[in-house]
Chains A and B, each alone.
Chain A
Amino acid sequence: MSLANAEHRAAEAAQAPVEKLGQETLLADFIGRNAQIYLAHYRRTGSRNVPVTAPALESASPAISWHWAAFALTIPWLFYRKMYLGGIVLVILPVLFDHIVPGSLFFGSGFMIAVCTGLYAKSWYLAHALGKIDRATERYSAMDRRLAYIRRAGGVSIPGAVFGALTQGITIALALHDLLHL
């Protein structure tokens, strides 16, 4: 796309009233950094009751799409993307299970969680984002307040990534320590 064309579109968008902004724009606003990756998945697969007009939908692929960061850095990625509930569940369940059945974290559950997150990360994140957009729509009739809510709910969290990395690293270290002393 040429620079002149991009500038023309930007100027056109700047003149558009906020009320006319579409779902994709709100999604882009929610996602923030690296929005194109998730928007491409959204265009390819559509989501819930949102009509997707892109021609690519005719050959829609399943909601599975590999995400390396989510696979390799499962817990930090979830907290980085502010999916706290998912992050908490994926930390607590294997740890509790490992307490009840010692060694289970290394014999399957940790790796299975990483693979599932790698496969479904984009879909989970889009569902999370659309849920927040729905909530903003339900709660606030004024568009500026709706946008403020979406903007605050979305984006990324560096403290979240640090918290997730520490949690995952220490969990693995403790589980490995227990495994070696079984």
Chain B
Amino acid sequence: MSDPLILRLAAAISAIAPGALLLVYFSYSRAWRGIRELTWIAFGLGFTAAIPIAGVASLFAPNFFSIVDLRLYAAGVAFLEASLPEELGKFLVIYYFLMRHEDVRRPLDVVVLSIVVSLGFASIENIYYVFGSDDWSSTAMVRAVTAIPMHSTMGIIMGYHAAQYLIVTQSKRRSLLLMILVPTILHGFYDYPVFAVQRLYEHTQGLPDAEALEFQIVFIVAIIVTAFVAAHAVRSLAKTPAYLVPLPLGDTDRLHAHTVHNAAASRD
């Protein structure tokens, strides 16, 4: 994109706007007043996480462009180059920075934060695509109604399993595994037909009817399954009171001993 400064600014704003609007909704909603500051941090962490993910993925990802077979190429790019690093990045941010954060008081808070992390990630991805496109305004518009809802839905699913992890006492590892696995698979199936069609257009300047139908079916099935999984998560979150029960802050007896020890140390 080699447009003047004002167009670059307009492109940047159009790329960030959809995610930012949803962020403003979450941070100013009364229901999430307790984590208002944290929603901004979560958005920023999602936004920032794209930088190390892109760097590490570019170092370790195999070169899929040399693969001749269309389906193998699309599956490789969709699952290993796009969905796995992206969902892994979001997972690490949620697990290491947000689930342990002192302002997270209920398991349900983690669900909202997970959505916001996804929105942050989607926003920087939008910047990348919008700046890389010749027709940036159309790209921004199309992505606002496709990529942003997709990332938000993955955020709901990941957040649901994160909340499960916080409330269950047994099979915590299973919840962690589902937290990364389910969004990665669904995201991969969403991306697979997109990358396949993109390559077909690049190579044949058109879309053969048989392939078009196959990839359309995969895309529609991926969206239906994702919507079904997300709806199940939302229903379960709405029905289960345990997601609203305050989380413990920590082992207070041990903390007391630690603080008294620090009191002595700071007086020395």
Contact = CB atoms under 8 A, between A and B. Distances in A.
B56 A153 contact: no
A157 interface: yes
A171 B250 CA distance: 36
Nearest to B55: A170
A172 B49 CA distance: 15
A101 B4 CA distance: 10
Interface in A1-60: 1, 6, 9-10, 12-14, 16, 18, 21-22, 24-29, 35, 39
A181 B255 CA distance: 54
A173 B250 CA distance: 40
Interface stretch (A65-73, A86-94, A111-119): A86-94
Given A152-B250, A167-B52, A85 B41 contact: yes
B137 interface: no
A160 B40 CA distance: 17
A84 B40 CA distance: 10
A92 B48 contact: yes
A124 interface: no
A95 interface: yes
Contact of A29 (B37, B40, B259): B259
Given A149-B249, A151-B258, A85 B263 contact: no
Contacts of B249: 145, 148-149, 152
B8 interface: yes
Given A84-B44, A85-B40, A16 B9 contact: no
Interface in B207-253: 249-252
A179 B149 CA distance: 35
A160 B96 contact: yes
A99 B264 contact: no
A120 interface: no
A85 B120 CA distance: 14
B12 interface: yes
Given A10-B261, A159-B97, A91 B250 contact: no
A12 B255 CA distance: 18
Kindly name the residue among B51, B93, B258 whose own CB sees the greatest number of chain A CB atoms within 10 A. B51
B30 interface: no
Contacts of B258: 29, 151
B100 A152 contact: yes
A167 B250 contact: no
B8 A99 contact: yes
B262 A18 contact: no
Nearest to A1: B268
B127 interface: yes
B102 interface: yes
Contacts of A84: 41, 44-45, 97
A125 interface: no
B180 to A, nearest CB: 16
10 contacts: A10-B265, A13-B264, A18-B256, A18-B260, A35-B266, A85-B37, A99-B12, A100-B8, A169-B55, A170-B51
Interface of B: 5, 8-9, 12, 37, 40-41, 44-45, 47-49, 51-52, 54-56, 92-93, 96-97, 100, 102, 127, 131, 249-252, 255-256, 258-268
9 nearest A-B residue pairs (beta carbon): A88-B44, A170-B55, A166-B52, A148-B249, A10-B264, A13-B264, A144-B252, A159-B96, A28-B266
